[in-house]
Homo-oligomer: A and B are copies of this chain.
């Protein structure tokens, strides 16, 4: 989804929202961070087939948009945990609704899960 630094790039709330959560795998990332406090490579394992470059980018954007906090522990080897902010946690129920919707109303897509 397009992310921009223009002053008024959005025509409506929905467009603004999807600029924040519509990126590839962003919804899944939010969902998994909500489950625990995963570390970088744990997220990579869960998501599968994500290059470190892409995961880092998505996480950085989610952090900029205030959904995710990056907690860096100064240890050797370094340990970084991700967790949701209040904003991120407020989005979890919506993700649950979306999951329910696809199961109930989109049998074709639901069948392609797993």
Contact = CB atoms under 8 A, between A and B. Distances in A.
Interface of A: 1-2, 6-20, 22, 24-25, 27-28, 31, 47-48, 65-66, 86-87, 90-91, 93-95, 97-99, 101-106, 108-110, 112-114
Copies held by the complex: 2
B27 A14 contact: yes
18 contacts: A1-B24, A8-B114, A10-B113, A10-B114, A12-B31, A13-B98, A13-B99, A13-B102, A15-B27, A16-B102, A16-B113, A17-B99, A17-B106, A65-B109, A86-B105, A91-B105, A94-B94, A94-B97
Nearest to A5: B112
Interface of A, secondary structure class, is: helix
